[in-house]
Chains A and B, each alone.
Chain A
Amino acid sequence: MEGERGSEKRFVFYAIFGFVGLTLLIRLFIMQVLEDKYQESAEANAIQKQTVYPDRGLIFDRNGKLIVYNEPVYDLMVIPREARLPDTMEFCRLFGISKQEFIDKIKAIRAVAPEGVFFSQLSKVDFAKVQEKLSDFPGFYVSRRTVRVYTSNAMANALGYIAEISPEELKRDSSQYYRPGDYVGKSGIEASYEYYLRGEKGVRYQLKNRFNQVVGSYQNGQLDKPAIAGENLISSVDIELQKYGEALMVNKTGAIVAIEPQTGEILALITSPSYNPNLLVGDDFKKNFASISRHPDLLLFNRATQSAYPPGSTFKTVQALIGLQNGVLNDTLRLPCNWSLVKCHPHPYWTTPQTSIQYSCNPFYYQTFRKIVHQKGESFEALQAGYKQWREQVLKFGFGRKLGVDIADEGSGSIPQVERFNKMYKNNWNFSNIYSLSIGQGEMGVTLLQMANLACIIANKGYYYIPHLIKSIGKSGKPLPQYQVRHSVGIDEKHFEPIIKGMAGAFKAGTVGPMAQVVNLYAGDICAKTGTVQNPHGEDHSTFIAFAPCDNPKIAIAVYVENAGFGGIWAATIASLMMQKYLKDTTKVKIQPWQVGRIEATEKMVLEKVFNRRELLRLDSIRKAEKRKQDSIKAILRKKEQEEEIYDDNQLNPQ
């Protein structure tokens, strides 16, 4: 057969294959088994890849004052696989730990990761020590990172905090940006602007010799990528106003929200009680987080944006506006203050929409709300339809839904749907079941942010911008696009006139108490509406919305003080102090001669007032303790006296 010819050449092939295979095997045997230089090179890990962490973006207030910045700290890192110390004892002496501690620590790190933090946040002295001796300790290196530093104790809940990324967050991270141990914004601005603040990580490749000394950069740094710092943010908050408000709210439970009406920029977002943000920084986080998050006063709960409060009488402005828009009210329509419908307080019997706001007449709004929901007829179906329409209109004001402020910790409040009443009363209900809503009580809840937004809407006569805390991101100079859109509430501008006049009247000669009036710089140039919310669990809540100046509003504000009683007193006073502070700082208004000393006196009264139940209890207990102490002193004295008497009696036999 033809194929047979030349078949002996297959042995040449076998020979060539065998020769090459054997050569490779010998070469590999020399490389892998005989020579140790490759092993040594591998152990020295000639090239080390290091992640360069970017500086997190800074946050400034609206006047350019620094609120949050970074400070470097140094961690001593260890790669257990490479950590073969020639003199472990020396290392332990240097850091003041025992050999057992050293072994345990290395073991613990080795169990979870190829490298880890041996000591975190070295002191400057320790850092200097390590820097010098690092070459003696292969497998150890120092890593620089930064921690957040807050220039004041204010604004903790709005700023939020950063902490180590959790395994769940790591799993959700589709961008592959994060690694275990990275820090990530967990709440507040830190969380919602994480993408802008974090910057871009860099990479550095370094050549190292056997003694773990850096000898140079790999390929002259061609592959290195510098870290790009995060974008700086400018907050709309006036940090001085924020601090002032937090001081006023000390020992009170509640919140303050102040907004610039024309832009929706939040000037102050205060919740009380709060915590010191510098306690949740770096290593202190682990130490303090549990006690802060489990504090009975709910320190991490943002009462300004999360809490659903009944709005009380402040909600009457919304009722009046809807009534006017729907034509069930008009500027001159007068309604009686009929106490048989709902309780009220003494004021002129007949009121128009304007004066009803000024005097906060309850029966007026009982009748108005009835007209609104029954404007299509008296039947149950008409009531349902009327209620539905009313709810739609209220939602346009931003109630009953999340407004979309730029922090995630926002509640939606609630304006109940028709279905809820149908379910509650088994399709058999009428106006008498829902009349509480007419004066902002009953089944409704709003956040204080929504109330401040209402003040903005009235100040702007019919529109608002979604409130936001960041007015400028990086070099763009602009906030996020959704905060540049104007939202209309569907009420004609002309209907705001009587409401604004009524609110001006309320401050001057209405429901606002004289203590708040003292701080009014313009004597009557504040427009306000008070609210006193009945609280079945205790003292009434005090609430207040306002804006100033009336003709050209610069600041709109909402204040809620829990268990502080009548709205015209404490909430109004705090709001007025806030407004005068802001306007005094930003406009050329001068303090009137008659006010000198009075504002300070009012401030002092507010500062000393305590409305925090726990704080009251504490004060009580201190009082009690003092009394007990005095009692015991007295008792001791009395005992002594007695003893002395006995001593006198038994002079001859003292024990």
Chain B
Amino acid sequence: MIISSTRNSRNPLNNLDVVSVFVYLILVVWGIMSIYSASYNVENPKPFYDFSSFAGKQFIFALTAIGLIILVFLLDYRLFEDFAYIFYALSILLLIAVVLFGKVVKGQQNWIQIGPVSMQPTEFAKLGVSLALARFLGAPGSKLTDKKIWLGIGIIFIIPALLILKQGDYGSLMVFVLLELALYREGMPFWVITLQIVIAILFVLSLLIKPVYLAFGLFFVFVAITGVMLLIRRKVERSEWIVLIAGFLLAAMFVVSVPKIFAKLKKYHQERIMVLLDEDAVDKKGGAYYNLQQSKIAIGSGGFWGKGFLEGTQTKYDFVPEQHSDFIFCTVGEEFGWAGSFLVIVLFMILLFRVVMIAERQRSRFARIYGYCVASIFFAHFAFNLSMTVGLFPTIGVPLPFMSYGGSSLWSFTLMLFILLKLDMHRNRLFSRD
């Protein structure tokens, strides 16, 4: 391909979504600053350019990420669709390699060492699955109303899901679950999502209320619903009776069995959930309580304007676990206060809205589905990460996109975003294939 014309309209960079790039850059730079602050040793300060420190390494990761961006821009835009299954296969191979040779860090086996470089293939699997899903669903003639298509979707999801489950990385597993948002956009009925929300609510309620009482409560809800239906319509169809009674029985069974399921979970998982619901029920000297408490104290003590860059006291000790990676937001909250938190959330909002907008303006189904996958993954990471640091969600180890320390996650998020921007640059020349 020769750049045949100097006319601006032919320059693909003209179609680059500058807003997304701008937000991306701010988040990455802010991330490096926060990592520097989080690993800053008051007694023995190291300069920022010390490349043995976390901040120095992240800076190098960011530089190499720029290299990746240039590579993505230089490649042919059609390549991503054509090679989608190959990317997927590669990421699955890496996941298998992790299960076979990976090293165990903090109860999770999700690291693999290749020469001097260690990486987390789970992060790249998210990209592989998104590309494969977009290719598969975007193929001509495939519709979600078609029962057979669900088999394919199931296979695309189930292989990485099982491998990630084997690694014990529940955070990433939940990110995969949120990919169903993209399916919803493509026609999956909303009640599937509603059902999951109901199950989640029942789960939480049954931990708070004795299951027997809850079952009675459910019975009253059932009676109320049928009563209302009888009052309004005077008649309930036979099929409706079956759905209502089956629903009630299943819900009651679920509620009663929750304590048994809960007991089967690992001790630290139980604690991470209980610490949100009932602080008094948790061992105050246990790790889960203190980790969350330290995270909340760090953020909460930031006030409105924060304590200032490098002035945070809580994140300087090593009590907030993973304060440079998963809990990086603690540093933002402590040092830049509510104003800083507000800015970070607004930046993410801009990015998420933007990604959905970009996805929606694509003419090819592949690009659009891929865009929604990216939006779902970014949203899942953003929502899980922030709600866990402020104590609204159990602690699951997912990084905050672009800001958390880690080469694998920074590279994979960068690739996700810039592959979408690359596709977007060529949106006018992409025509739907069906």
Seen from chain A, the residues whose Cβ lies within 8 Å of a Cβ on chain B are 1-3, 6-7, 9-10, 12-14, 16-18, 20-21, 23-25, 27-29, 31-33, 35, 37-39, 41-43, 45-47, 49, 81, 113-114, 176, 179-180, 216, 218-220
Contact = CB atoms under 8 A, between A and B. Distances in A.
6 contacts: A12-B184, A27-B390, A32-B299, A37-B300, A38-B296, A176-B44
A65 to B, nearest CB: 39
A113 B42 CA distance: 8
What are the 8 closest A-B residue pairs judged by CB atoms, nearest first? A38-B300, A42-B301, A31-B300, A32-B338, A41-B297, A28-B341, A17-B352, A20-B383
B392 A27 contact: yes
A25 B293 CA distance: 19
Interface in B43-85: 43-44
Contacts of B333: 28, 32
B375 A13 contact: yes
A180 B45 CA distance: 11
B290 A38 contact: no
Nearest to A114: B42
A338 B346 CA distance: 104
Nearest to B304: A33
Given A23-B392, A32-B337, A219-B287, A179 B319 contact: no
Contact of A2 (B287, B296, B365): B365
B386 A32 contact: no
B301 A41 contact: yes
A464 B302 CA distance: 69
Contacts of B297: 38, 41-42, 46
Given A13-B356, A180-B43, 6 more contacts: A10-B185, A10-B356, A17-B349, A24-B387, A25-B342, A39-B303
Interface of B: 42-44, 181, 184-187, 190, 285-287, 290, 293-294, 296-304, 313-314, 317, 319, 333, 337-338, 341-342, 345-346, 348-349, 352-353, 356-357, 360, 362-363, 365, 368, 372, 375, 379, 382-383, 386-387, 390, 392, 432, 434
A42 B314 contact: yes
A18 B392 contact: no
B373 to A, nearest CB: 12
Nearest to B375: A13
A29 to B, nearest CB: 6
Contacts of B392: 23-24, 27
Given A2-B432, A219-B285, A219-B287, A45 B313 contact: yes
- Which DSSP category, helix, strand, loop or mixed, fits chain B's interface? helix
A1 B432 contact: yes
B363 A32 contact: no
A644 B360 CA distance: 127
A78 to B, nearest CB: 15
B314 A24 contact: no
A28 B338 contact: yes
Contacts of B386: 24
B299 A31 contact: yes
B300 A17 contact: no
- Which DSSP category, helix, strand, loop or mixed, fits chain A's interface? helix
Contacts, number: 126
Given A17-B379, A32-B333, A2 B299 contact: no
Contacts of A37: 300
B299 A38 contact: yes
Nearest to B190: A12
Given A32-B333, A38-B296, A21 B348 contact: yes
A21 B387 CA distance: 10
Given A32-B304, A37-B300, A42 B356 contact: no
B365 to A, nearest CB: 7
Given A25-B341, A41-B297, A33 B303 contact: yes
Contacts of B43: 113, 179-180
Contacts of A179: 43-44
B349 A13 contact: no
Contacts of A12: 184, 190
B392 to A, nearest CB: 6
Contacts of A28: 299, 333, 338, 341-342, 345, 390
A584 B434 CA distance: 111
A31 B356 contact: no
B44 A6 contact: no
A49 B349 CA distance: 38
A24 B390 contact: yes
A20 B378 CA distance: 13
Contact of A9 (B184, B290, B383): B184
A218 B187 CA distance: 52
A3 B368 contact: yes
A220 B368 CA distance: 54
Contacts of A20: 379, 382-383, 387
B300 A3 contact: no
Contacts of A17: 349, 352-353, 356, 379
Name which of A1, A13, A46 has the most chain B CB atoms within 10 A of its CB.
Answer: A13
B254 to A, nearest CB: 25
Contacts of A13: 181, 185, 356, 372, 375
A16 B197 CA distance: 13
B215 to A, nearest CB: 30
Nearest to B387: A24
Contact of A35 (B300, B317, B363): B300
